[in-house]
């Protein structure tokens, strides 16, 4: 059992958390000017890095999204923080 | 190559088995090949075999960073089936199943294919409707699949929980009689032996560090044993494929997760089919040694580490015990995990990627073992001809930009 730390609630059981998306994705705008390739890239492309990763996670029980920096091989969590502009 | 037969076994028995030779050559890499296959699992070895067998290419190398079949080929639960929904998927997986049916003879290597049939069991009227839909689709797509009623299903798996207090009372399900299991190691070893016999170099402990790109085309690989040039390169390295392809600027739609498998202590024969229970998501079969081999859903934390975690173990094991309360007496013998490459539509990615001369066969997710002969057949076709086989064409990477997904998670609604 792994313990993840929600920036809002503190350390909790991993079953309370859900991986959302890799950090840094930005929805291409405006929609009318977005090519099929750019849209597919936004929807589907994944880096899936081996090692250091920065991801957006959801704490299911409080409903807050937050950033987690962790290692995808060792599963060590380096740090968690609220999304930019969000107060804990 | 010394042919394996009852006669050679008998002769060797009289000679105290001193005449056996290694099944494949330990090759050291040459400087140049016509084709290089990265990844010495089932898919990579099958690719090399069909390059030599179907297309007459002899200067072929398989580069494996560890040992042959030590990745997901040696970590899966050996189930083979083609009970899918979409025509493209059925064409793909049934090609694999048909090749599996003749594989022991083709390779002169017993892959221990046991077509004991597979039941996908349902426990609600709604699930039975979905099963009806899939069974109808299978029949329309020309493969054996049939809806099975409650009595017949329970006769197939008599130990399943039928009590009044059972949480998931079996209502029936889908039956595919040609589905079954095979010996996973034997599939890798058989392809390796047959490919090596036709001149393919199988290089173990050879890690590919980067692709060799010249004038915008892939012309080989950089390895820890030096640079190896090639006319074309095929990647069949499961979860490691996106990292290698990324050098060309290609970003693949692949998430990596750990998928666990479990083996109980061996018991006498008690389950002679493969069972997947929709209610629990747990599937199980019994090995020839008597162990119960079972598994279930992915671990939910994306990872490249080949080990599982406890919450999923608890869900999968409790699913097994819900189906078979009697199995609570058994002890768990082994548990392990492999890193699987999961695509949003639960279908593989087969085709050219990034630059000319580079092809991939990846994204099989949790269902790669059953597809080994087809994956090899189709990647070999791509490498030898430069273009798609009609069966692999729908699985090209371009389907994501085109919006032509082959969504089997939605289509067949079954674990991958």
Interchain CB contact of B29 with A (< 8 Å): no
Q: Tell me, what's the pLDDT at B74?
A: 93
Interface test with A, best of B242, B247, B303 (most A CBs within 10 A): B303
Interchain CB contact of B251 with A (< 8 Å): yes
pLDDT-above-70 percentage for chain B: 98
Which residues does B22 contact at the CB level (< 8 Å), separation at least 6?
Answer: none
Q: Tell me, what's the pLDDT at B412?
A: 67
Q: What is the DSSP letter of B67?
A: S
pLDDT at B307 over 90: no
Interface test with A, best of B255, B301, B310, B399 (most A CBs within 10 A): B301
Distance between CA atoms of residues B237 and B380, nearest Å: 15
Confidence of residue B416 (pLDDT cuts 50, 70, 90): very low
- pTM of the predicted model as reported, rounded to 2 decimal places: 0.95
Q: What is the DSSP letter of B28?
A: P
Put simply, the answer to whether A14 touches B309 (Cβ < 8 Å) is yes
Confidence of residue B413 (pLDDT cuts 50, 70, 90): low
pLDDT at A77 over 60: yes
Distance between CA atoms of residues A6 and A65, nearest Å: 9
Interchain CB contact of B254 with A (< 8 Å): yes
Q: Tell me, what's the pLDDT at B300?
A: 87
pLDDT tens column, B100-120: 999 999 999 999 999 999 999
ipTM: 0.94
Confidence of residue B408 (pLDDT cuts 50, 70, 90): confident
pLDDT at B409 over 80: no
Residues comprising chain B, all counted: 416
Question: Which B positions 341-400 lie with beta carbon below 8 A of chain A?
Answer: 344, 400
Average pLDDT over residues B302-327: 93
pLDDT at B269 over 70: yes
Which residues does A18 contact at the CB level (< 8 Å), separation at least 6?
Answer: A57, A58, A60, B300
In chain B, the residue whose alpha carbon lies closest to the alpha carbon of A49 is B243
Average pLDDT over residues A21-44: 93
Interchain CB contact of B209 with A (< 8 Å): no
Is the CB of residue B145 less than 8 Å from the CB of residue B134? Answer: yes
pLDDT at B415 over 60: no
Q: In the numeric block, which tokens belong to residue B23?
A: 């099944």
Let me know if B87 is exposed, middle or buried by CB neighbors in 10 A (0-12, 13-18, 19+). Answer: middle
Domain spans in chain A, listed from the N-terminal domain onward: 3-82
Which residues does B384 contact at the CB level (< 8 Å), separation at least 6?
Answer: B35, B51, B54, B55, B57
Q: Tell me, what's the pLDDT at A1?
A: 82
Put simply, the answer to whether A36 touches B243 (Cβ < 8 Å) is no
Put simply, the answer to whether A51 touches B311 (Cβ < 8 Å) is no
Residue B287 has φ and ψ, to the nearest 5°, of -75, 170
pLDDT at A87 over 90: no
Distance between CA atoms of residues B34 and B52, nearest Å: 11
In chain A, the residue whose alpha carbon lies closest to the alpha carbon of B344 is A44
Which residues does B148 contact at the CB level (< 8 Å), separation at least 6?
Answer: B119, B156, B172, B173, B174, B175
pLDDT at B414 over 60: no
Min CA distance, B40 vs chain A (Å)?
Answer: 20
Average pLDDT over residues B355-377: 96
Which residues does B335 contact at the CB level (< 8 Å), separation at least 6?
Answer: B260, B261, B262, B263, B308, B313
Interchain CB contact of B25 with A (< 8 Å): no
pLDDT tens column, B131-142: 999 999 999 999
Put simply, the answer to whether B301 touches A47 (Cβ < 8 Å) is no
Interchain CB contact of B253 with A (< 8 Å): yes
Min CA distance, B191 vs chain A (Å)?
Answer: 29
Put simply, the answer to whether A73 touches B251 (Cβ < 8 Å) is no
Rounded alpha-carbon distances, angstroms, from residue B122 to B93, B132, B398: 23, 11, 35
Q: Which of B100, B365, B375 lies closest to B235, judged by CA?
A: B375
Put simply, the answer to whether B304 touches A73 (Cβ < 8 Å) is yes
Min CA distance, A14 vs chain B (Å)?
Answer: 8
Interchain CB contact of B255 with A (< 8 Å): yes
pLDDT-above-90 percentage for chain B: 91
Is the CB of residue B89 less than 8 Å from the CB of residue B408? Answer: yes
Put simply, the answer to whether B304 touches A45 (Cβ < 8 Å) is no
pLDDT tens column, A52-65: 999 999 999 999 99
Triad B213, A46, B88: Cα angle to 5°: 90
Q: What is the mean pLDDT of chain B?
A: 94
Question: Considering CB atoms only, which of B253, B303, B305 is closest to A46?
Answer: B253
Confidence of residue B301 (pLDDT cuts 50, 70, 90): very high
pLDDT tens column, B157-193: 999 998 988 999 999 999 999 999 999 999 999 999 9
* Residues in chain B within 8 Å Cβ distance of A48: 239, 242-243, 254-256, 302, 304
Q: Is residue B56 helix, strand or coil?
A: coil
Q: Which fold has domain A3-82?
A: Folate-binding fold (3.30.2270)
Q: Tell me, what's the pLDDT at B205?
A: 96
Residue B313 has φ and ψ, to the nearest 5°, of -60, -40
Min CA distance, B59 vs chain A (Å)?
Answer: 32
Note the Cα B89 to chain centre separation in Å.
Answer: 14
Q: Tell me, what's the pLDDT at B41?
A: 96
pLDDT-above-90 percentage for chain A: 91
Distance between CA atoms of residues B99 and B126, nearest Å: 34
Put simply, the answer to whether A75 touches B305 (Cβ < 8 Å) is yes
**In whole angstroms, how large is the CA radius of gyration of chain A?**
15
Q: Tell me, what's the pLDDT at A88?
A: 81
* Residues in chain B within 8 Å Cβ distance of A25: none
pLDDT at B235 over 60: yes
């Amino acid at each position: 059992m792994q313990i993840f730390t929600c920036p809002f609630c503190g350390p909790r059981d991993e079953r309370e958390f859900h991986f959302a998306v890799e950090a840094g994705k930005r929805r291409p705008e405006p929609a009318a000017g977005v090519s099929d390739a750019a849209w597919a890239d936004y929807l589907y492309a994944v880096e899936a890095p081996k090692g250091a990763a920065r991801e957006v996670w959801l704490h299911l029980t409080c409903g807050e999204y937050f950033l987690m920096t962790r290692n995808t091989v060792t599963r060590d969590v380096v740090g968690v923080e609220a999304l930019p502009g969000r107060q804990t | 190559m010394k042919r394996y037969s009852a006669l050679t076994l008998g002769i060797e028995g009289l000679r105290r088995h001193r005449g056996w030779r290694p099944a494949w050559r330990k090759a050291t890499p040459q400087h140049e090949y016509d084709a290089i296959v990265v990844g010495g699992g089932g898919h990579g070895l099958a690719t090399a075999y069909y390059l030599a067998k179907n297309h007459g290419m002899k200067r072929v190398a398989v580069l494996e960073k560890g040992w042959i079949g030590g990745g997901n080929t040696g970590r899966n639960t050996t189930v083979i089936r083609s009970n899918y929904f979409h025509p493209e998927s059925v064409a793909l997986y049934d090609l694999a199943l048909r090749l599996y049916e003749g594989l022991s003879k083709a390779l002169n290597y017993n892959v221990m294919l046991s077509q004991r049939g597979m039941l996908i069991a349902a426990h609600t009227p709604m699930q039975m409707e979905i099963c009806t839909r899939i069974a109808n689709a299978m029949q329309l797509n020309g493969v054996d699949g049939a809806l099975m009623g409650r009595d017949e299903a329970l006769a197939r798996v008599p130990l399943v929980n039928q009590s009044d207090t059972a949480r998931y009372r079996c209502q029936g399900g889908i039956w595919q009689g040609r589905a079954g299991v095979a010996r996973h190691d034997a599939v890798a070893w058989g392809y390796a032996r047959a490919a090596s016999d036709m001149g393919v170099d199988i290089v173990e402990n050879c890690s590919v560090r980067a692709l060799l790109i010249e004038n915008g085309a892939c012309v080989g690989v950089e390895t820890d044993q030096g640079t190896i040039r090639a006319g074309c390169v095929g990647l069949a390295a499961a979860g490691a494929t996106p990292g290698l392809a990324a050098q060309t600027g290609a970003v693949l739609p692949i998430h990596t997760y750990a998928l666990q498998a479990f083996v109980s202590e061996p018991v006498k024969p008690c389950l002679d089919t493969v069972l997947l229970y929709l209610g629990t998501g747990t599937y199980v079969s019994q090995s020839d040694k008597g162990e119960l081999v079972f598994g279930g859903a992915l671990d939910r934390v994306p990872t490249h580490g080949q080990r599982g975690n406890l919450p999923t173990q608890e869900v999968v094991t409790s699913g097994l015990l819900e189906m078979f309360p009697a199995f609570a007496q058994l002890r768990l013998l082994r548990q392990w995990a492999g890193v699987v490459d999961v695509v949003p539509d639960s279908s593989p990615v087969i085709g050219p990627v990034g630059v000319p001369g580079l092809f991939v066969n990846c994204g099989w997710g949790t269902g790669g073992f059953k597809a080994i002969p087809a994956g090899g057949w189709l990647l070999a076709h791509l490498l030898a001809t430069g273009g798609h086989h009609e069966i692999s064409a729908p699985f090209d990477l371009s389907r994501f930009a085109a919006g032509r997904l082959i969504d089997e998670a939605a289509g067949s609604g079954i674990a991958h």
